[in-house]
Amino acid sequence: DDAQKCSIDDILPLYFNIWKKLANDEITGVIEISKDIKKIVLEKKNLLSCKKAILDKIESTAVKFATLSDIKAIRVEFSGLSEAIIPQVKNNKDIFVFRCTMALDGKGANWLQKDKEIKNPYFGKAMLKCGEEVGKASKAKEDHSMHNH
């Protein structure tokens, strides 16, 4: 079934690994995880039925992760990865969308979690509980105000 093959469900565990590391102020292993994301995306891009624009956005973020060693820069890219993934999980009732309005120098940023205990990936331990649940992924709509034009 092409819909299943095009699903990003197999990328989510990798996304959640990066989220957990950033919430713990860690970056060890992020490059390896991003390479795994890129590999999965490339496999999906070979399927004609998959939406290339979405996969390109996820892939470009994964490629950028692999070039970064600064946690602040990695957190900026994580917001891009979150923006790409959030609209793709809108049918998943087990994933929650959170927002921290202070992230990215006050621009604000969203992220996904599988539970309601806030663990902010943009500030880590310094402000781990900063943020609010803005809904379940199944109700999330893409917020175009988050895009930098």
Terminal Cα distance for the chain, rounded: 36
Predicted TM-score (pTM) of the model is: 0.87
Query: In sequence order, what E strands does the chain have?
Result: 96-100, 109-113, 132-136
The per-residue pLDDT for range 98-144, each reduced to its tens digit, is: 999 999 999 999 999 999 999 999 999 999 999 999 987 665 444 43
Cβ of 16: how many Cβ atoms within 10 Å?
16
Is residue 64 very low, low, confident or very high in pLDDT (cuts 50, 70, 90)? Answer: very high
The per-residue pLDDT for range 22-46, each reduced to its tens digit, is: 999 999 999 999 999 999 999 998 8
